[in-house]
A and B are shown apart, each in its own frame.
Chain A
Amino acid sequence: MVSVQESEYWRWPETVWVDESRNWQDADVISCGIDLGSVSTQAVIMADGELYAYASMRTGTSSSASSEKALNAVLEKIGDMSREDIHYIVGTGYGRVSVPFANKTITEIACHGRGAVYVYGNTVRTVLDMGGQDLKAIKIDSRGKVINFLMNDKCAAGTGRGIEVVCDLLSVPITEVGDMSLKVEEEPEPVSTTCVVFAKSEILGLIRKGWNREMILAAFFNAVSSRVVELLERVGVEADFAITGGISKNVGVVRRIEIKLNMKALEPKVDPQLAGAIGAALFARALYIKSKK
């Protein structure tokens, strides 16, 4: 059993959190957002538009079961809240049609835009969402309304799933690859292929040449960040700039994007992987209030 655990370098920590300083029963509107992504699922509970609790889990093979699991995990952590106490639920993400209990579904582009304003403040104008199976560059206005976006969902290079594959290949836990890649004295050339599958043979070649893991990760993230910046430049980057999605927690990718853009990314107020679910919960609150008028 232990050996199985040790080999799963791609596995990232699942989190369930509740704001213990507040009592949800004081709030007028309890809204919920579920972001059912291809790799991870987030369930967020907001009390009067403020983040109250969340769960972040891996998406299983069944989308509907994954959304149930995430919502149940967050309700269990809260303790005294049941599903009936939630006024409105919005589902978003790749698997949003499979959230059986959602009152409404909204695209993840809209939710990430809206959520980014909560996570980063209303100065944010360009949002890069780096998810499990796609990359999105989104331009928004001060209220988080989407003005334009571009998407890359055909190729794993530069996505969370691509990075998981590389973690396993190099036997480095996913939470450590980013820091590790920054421990090089000089930035190596990017790997020449952007394909994750081909990167395998290229990385094996680099190992044979005597490169250490720090250098290999740096070369890989260098290639990934170039690819991402190409996408961003097509949509046009405007300050302030922010990164959402799982890879926003990988400093190796984020720093290199910042250097290539010559622009610092905003500091998040809460876990930026929650942006989509937060956006969904904010939409849920607005929809509930509208339905009562």
Chain B
Amino acid sequence: MVVAGIDVGSKMAKVVIMDGDRNILSYVMARTGTDHGKTSEEVLNEALEKAGLKREDLEKIVATGFGKISVPFADDEVTQVIAAGKGAYFVRPSARTVIEVGAEESRAISLDENGNVKDFALADKCAAGAGSFVDAMIRYLEVTPEEFGQLALKATRAIPMNAQCVVFAESEVVSLLHSNVPKAEISRAIHDAIADRVIAIARRLDIRDDVLLIGGLANDIGFIESMKRELGKDVYVPEDYPPELVPAIGAALSAVQGVR
């Protein structure tokens, strides 16, 4: 048996091909274009090709994410919270609190010891606790996303950012640059500000070990460090797969369960 999980986010579309024994056969991630239906078709075909499979080999396709309704060929869909929870339990069974920071939203999920979702909290009204905040800031600092994360580690002091809004933070960053504040310190201030907001959401739940960080921002070393510092505990990121792939893994796991 072979299934597919597809997660169409506001920024990235991800596909996971999985067999009946829950082995990941292939995965593909690509930028979500303007046509969600077409993009999801393309990433699925690419993932099938990588696994050496054909469309008819798939027994079930489960979609999740912001654009899940635009996946015309999906057999079923699953909520983002369920998908993220299942995927998190798969990549790190000891995870009890899952924090996901996506391009346009962040969420926290509490899992029990069997990987079932106990509770969750969402923030999708403000960009200041989401990946798009970082996208805006790296444009202003004129660095690559990798440099942006690394820079924060070189900061020698913490400077507070007043702005709680991406739009206002832009002007704040510009004035910090004009006052000759080193980019490293600005980078750390931005990472701390996002971590603050994300943790405020997670605090609506009971934060328990292990804390697993998923979503695109979990690739950012500066953000991981800020989260550790602000939470006062260790946080983990998926080791074997990209952190933004986790909900697509969860969707594939749903598909496996659905077939059985």
Q: Which residues of A contact B (CB under 8 A)?
A: 38, 61-62, 133, 154-156, 161-162, 165, 193-198, 201, 204, 208
Q: In the assembled complex, how far is the CB of residue B163 from the closest CB belonging to chain A, in whole angstroms? A: 8
B168: which A residues are within 8 A, CB to CB? 133, 156, 161
Report B's interface with A, CB cutoff 8 A.
10, 34, 104, 125-127, 132-133, 136, 164-168, 171, 174-175, 178
Q: Is the interface of B mostly helix, strand, loop or mixed?
A: helix
Would you call B171 and A161 a contact (CB within 8 A)? yes
Closest to A197 in B: B127
Query: What are some 15 contacts across the A-B interface (CB < 8 A)?
Result: A61-B174, A61-B175, A61-B178, A133-B168, A133-B171, A154-B164, A155-B165, A156-B166, A156-B167, A156-B168, A161-B167, A196-B167, A197-B166, A201-B10, A208-B34
Interface centre among A62, A196, A197, A204 (most CB of B within 10 A): A197
Q: Which residues of B contact A165 (CB under 8 A)?
A: 167
> Does A62 lie within 8 Å of B164, measured CB to CB?
no
Chain B residues with Cβ below 8 Å from A154 are 164-165
- Among residues of A, the one whose C-beta sits closest to the C-beta of B167 is A156
Q: How far is the CB of B200 from chain A (nearest CB, A)?
A: 13
> Whole-angstrom distance between the alpha carbons of A162 and B168 in the complex?
9
The answer for the CA separation of A90 and B127 in the assembled complex, in Å, is: 37
Which residues from B are CB-within-8-Å of A161? 167-168, 171
| Contact between chains at A194 and B125 (CB < 8 Å) | yes
User: Is the Cβ of A156 less than 8 Å from the Cβ of B165?
Assistant: yes
B residues less than 8 Å from A195 (CB atoms): 125-127
| Cα distance A34–B10 in the bound complex, in angstroms | 44
Which of the residues A62, A155, A201, A208 comes within 8 Å of B126, measured between beta carbons?
A: A155
- How many Å from the CB of B123 to the closest CB on chain A? 11
Given A194-B125, A201-B10, are A162 and B167 neighbors across the interface (CB < 8 Å)? yes
In Å, the complex CA distance between A195 and B10 comes to: 15
A156-B172 Cα distance, complex, nearest whole Å: 13
- Which A-chain residue is minimally distant from B126 (CB atoms)? A195
A15–B219 Cα distance when bound, in Å, is 48
